A and B are shown apart, each in its own frame.
Chain A
Amino acid sequence: MLELINIHKSFNNNEVLKGVNIKVKKGDVIVILGPSGSGKTTLLRCINFLERADKGEIIFDDLHVNVRTASAADISKIRKKTAFVFQSFNLFNNKTALENVTEGLIVARKVPKAEATEIAKKALSKVGLSDRENYYPSKLSGGQQQRVAISRAIAVNPDVILFDEPTSALDPELTGEVLSVMKQLAREGVTMVVVTHEMSFAREVANHIVFMADGVVVEEGPPDEIFTNPREERTKQFLSRILPPVDDYVI
């Protein structure tokens, strides 16, 4: 469904993506892991052109673009097929929760208001926030804001939802509510590409892990392979630091 081929991206002479390839099939839940600086967020942002890659191609169903020559129309098409959930939520501060969710439908997809409102209400109830419809973002907790952000993403019915460290900015107590929403979405078959440090999510929900370091994909495969039998040394190094040691006896 979605394929990124040979993506390169530099910021000010610093090459952050050095030729990355990714394939996303419908229904996949792909988790991208890696140390900071590995380029995972940049890769995600290149998919919906929040960053424009320097070189490479993106194939999205029947849409085939060269990132350098992609037109505004192509970008717009891609953005209408995707949705992005940000680390810092980025809810529209001047709109209520409900309005945040209907905005993409009414303005970008010309859905009539009544229909959009209905879709939005369903999306909000799915994340458990029906009672907060008319609240402004400033009156919601971080976890609630992120859940509204997720319902904003699902309301537009995208082919794939991109998550950029969705729980990193949350207090530990609030990450649970967001992760359970994401797990629910995965169970329902929503295609997701997630950059995260939440290993439990990666292990339990993902069907494909991509490990990146220093701008390249070091290793990829199903979770049990990557977590229990990583092939590359770099992968082992990363996992040993992130995961608790297997034999950890409490005396």
Chain B
Amino acid sequence: MRPFNPLFIPEVFFEVLPFLRVTVLMLAGSLFFGSLLGFILARAKVSGRKASRFIADAYIAVMRCTPPIVLLFIVYYGLPELLLSTAGVNINNIDKGIFVLVTYTLLYGATLSEIMRASYESIDKGQWEAAVSIGLSPFQAFYRIMLPQAAAVALPNLCNVIINLMKDGALAFTIGLIDIMGRGSLIISRNFGAYALETYLALALIYWGLTLIFEKSFSILEKSFSRGKKSLAE
């Protein structure tokens, strides 16, 4: 069997960690734009006209069935073509990160919208009614009363979404993005395929570490949010 050199793993860490910046940037960017898209979709489903509700439903259903790698390649090959033929814009030289952001925004916009919608709908409408009955405007009622409560409910699901987004984002290297995975595959090709296992293990450990950090952070956040709530233990 090919020699396994565990000491190679720390070397991989040092070479790959600077590129964590790219991984996290893609994660944050997709989350941000995905939330914007998610809000639009959620709003369409909650209070929109029949037509917009149908479009939102259809979009979410399609995205639910789409493997990330397939969407990644559709965006990577399709977006330049689309922009070239419709707007004459040549984007063949832009950063691969743009394709990554577009892909995961489209994909996770759907997931995020469902989370927003479910958590908003789980808050008793009586809260909103009480707010407007003492004179708050509908917007104030939403922003000050419904939104904070919905956000607290959404937190655990949000944690799962962020972790899943990070894991799905690991595919970005297949279109050439140099994040930690991309750097890792460069290391492997540099060594003509040797040390592949060590490199992959190192990358897995990094992802695992990030997952644990996210889970811990969210559990702290959830505790601080549930100051006023009855816990299951009571």
Contact = CB atoms under 8 A, between A and B. Distances in A.
B149 A86 contact: no
B130 A84 contact: yes
Interface stretch (A13-21, A89-97, A184-192, A236-244): A89-97
Interface string B107-131: 0000000000000000010110111
B136 interface: yes
B134 interface: yes
Interface string A70-100: 0000001001101110101011111110000
A1 interface: no
A95 B146 CA distance: 12
Interface of B: 124, 126-127, 129-137, 140, 144-145, 148-149, 152, 227-230
Interface in A171-210: none
A103 B127 contact: no
Given A50-B129, A86-B126, A107-B144, A93 B134 contact: no
Given A103-B136, A109-B135, A86 B148 contact: no
Contacts of B124: 88, 90
Given A93-B228, A93-B229, A107-B144, A79 B133 contact: yes
B125 to A, nearest CB: 9
A47 to B, nearest CB: 10
A93 B127 contact: yes
Which of A48, A80, A96, A103 is the most central at the interface, judged by chain B CB atoms within 10 Å of its CB?
A103
Nearest to B130: A90
A119 to B, nearest CB: 13
A48 B133 contact: yes
B127 A82 contact: no
A107 B140 contact: yes
A107 B228 contact: no
B134 A103 contact: yes
A4 to B, nearest CB: 17
A91 B227 contact: no
A86 B130 contact: yes
15 contacts: A48-B133, A80-B135, A86-B126, A86-B133, A92-B127, A92-B131, A95-B228, A96-B228, A107-B144, A108-B137, A109-B135, A136-B227, A136-B228, A138-B229, A152-B134
- The 10 A-B residue pairs with the shortest CB-CB distance, nearest first, are A104-B134, A108-B135, A136-B228, A90-B130, A84-B133, A90-B126, A138-B230, A80-B135, A108-B136, A94-B148
A153 interface: yes
A22 B229 CA distance: 41
Given A76-B137, A94-B145, A153-B134, 19 more contacts: A48-B132, A80-B135, A82-B133, A83-B133, A83-B134, A84-B129, A86-B130, A88-B126, A90-B130, A93-B127, A93-B228, A94-B148, A96-B228, A107-B144, A108-B134, A108-B136, A136-B227, A136-B229, A138-B229
A92 B144 CA distance: 10
Contacts of A80: 135
Contacts of A152: 130, 134
Contacts of B152: 94
